[in-house]
A and B are shown apart, each in its own frame.
Chain A
C-alpha cells in the first residue's frame, strides 16, 4: 500500500469509528443535552474524517474542491445546529439530567 492509501484507510476507519461512537451516544445517553453533545462533536469529526478520506481519494481534481467545501460547511453548520437545538431546549426550560441518588453540587 502506498502512504496515500494508508492515510485514506486510516481516515475512513476513523470516520466510521466516530460515527459509531456518535450513534451509540445518541441511543445510550439519558437526555437531550448529553445526546446532542454526542451527536454534534463525535458525528462532526466522523463525517469530517470520512469526507477527508473522500477528498484524498479524488486527488487533484475539481471534486476535491467540492468535497473540501462540503467538509468546511459540515464543520460550521453541524455544531451550530446542535447549539440551536440545545439553546431552544434551554429556553423551553428543559432540565438537564442529573443522577437521582446523589445530588452533587459542584
Chain B
C-alpha cells in the first residue's frame, strides 16, 4: 500500500508540473510477468482452435483472432513502439498476402487437379480432405491475425498518427 502511494504521488506531481509533455510509458512488472507466462499458452490455444476447425467447432477466423491477441497483449505489456519495431508493418502486410496466396493456390490447385474449387478429394493424397481444410484454416488464421494486429497498430497510432498499418 505505502509503496503504491509513494509511486503514485510523485508521478501525479510530475504530470502537473511538466504540462502535457508525454512521459514515456513505464512498464508494469506485474503485467509483463503475466504476459510472459500467458502468451505462449494463448498462442498454442489459438493454433489449437485453428486446426480443430476440421473436426469440430473452431476454425481459422476464431483462432486467428486469438493469435492476433498475443501481439495485442505484447503491445499492452511492453508498449506500442517496441512491439511495432519488433513486428514490422511490412512483415504483417506480407503475411496477409502470403495467407491469401496459400488460400488461392489450394483453391485453384484442386481445380488444376481436376476437381472443383476447394474440392480436396481431387488431389490424390491420403486424407486430402482433412489436410486441405487444415491448410486453408491456417491460411485464413494468418490473414485474420495479420489484419487484427494491423488494425491494433493503426488504432494505437491515434488520429494524428500518419503511419500506415
Select which of B8, B12, B31 is within 8 A of A80 by beta carbon: B31
Residues on A with beta carbons closer than 8 Å to the beta carbon of B34: 76-77, 80
| A84 within 8 A of partner (CB) | yes
Give A13 Cβ to nearest chain B Cβ, in Å: 30
- Contacting pair B38 A83 (CB below 8 A): no
B30 touches A83 (CB 8 A): yes
Question: How many residues of B are in contact with the other chain, CB < 8 A?
Answer: 12
B28 touches A87 (CB 8 A): yes
The reply to whether the CB of B76 lies closer than 8 angstroms to some CB of chain A is yes
B38 surroundings in chain A (CB, below 8 A): 73, 76-77
Residues 72 to 88 of chain A near chain B (Cβ within 8 Å): 73, 76-77, 80, 83-84, 87
**Are B37 and A83 closer than 8 Å at their CB atoms?**
no
Residue-wise interface mask of A (62-106) relative to B, using a CB-CB cutoff of 8 A (1 in contact, 0 not): 000000000001001100100110010011010000000000000
Is the beta-carbon distance between B31 and A84 smaller than 8 angstroms?
A: yes
Residue B15 at the chain A interface, CB threshold 8 Å? yes
Contact with A along B61-81 (1 / 0, CB 8 A): 000000000000000100000
The smallest beta-carbon distance between A40 and chain B, in angstroms, is 12
State how many angstroms separate the Cβ of B128 from the closest Cβ of chain A. Answer: 29
Nearest chain A CB to B152 CB, angstrom units: 15
Contact A83 B15 (CB under 8 A): no
Q: A76-B34, A76-B37, A77-B34 are in contact. Are A84 and B8 (CB under 8 A)?
A: no
Convert B1-34 into 0s and 1s, putting 1 for each residue whose CB lies closer than 8 angstroms to a CB of A: 0000000100110010000000000001011001
- Rounded to whole Å, the gap between the CB of A56 and the closest CB of chain B is 23
The distance from the CB of B115 to the nearest CB of chain A, in whole angstroms, is 37
* A90 to B31 Cα, complex, angstroms: 15
Cα distance A93–B8 when bound, in Å?
Answer: 10
Q: Is B41 an interface residue (CB 8 A)?
A: yes
Contacting pair B76 A84 (CB below 8 A): yes
Q: Smallest CB–CB gap between A29 and chain B, Å?
A: 19
Q: Write the residues of chain B forming the contact surface with A, with a CB cutoff of 8 angstroms.
A: 8, 11-12, 15, 28, 30-31, 34, 37-38, 41, 76
**What are some 22 contacts across the A-B interface (CB < 8 A)?**
A73-B38, A73-B41, A76-B34, A76-B37, A76-B38, A77-B34, A77-B38, A80-B30, A80-B31, A80-B34, A83-B28, A83-B30, A83-B31, A84-B28, A84-B31, A84-B76, A87-B28, A87-B31, A90-B8, A91-B11, A93-B12, A93-B15
When A and B form their complex, which 5 residue pairs have the shortest distance between CB atoms, in order from nearest? Answer: A80-B34, A84-B31, A83-B30, A87-B28, A93-B15
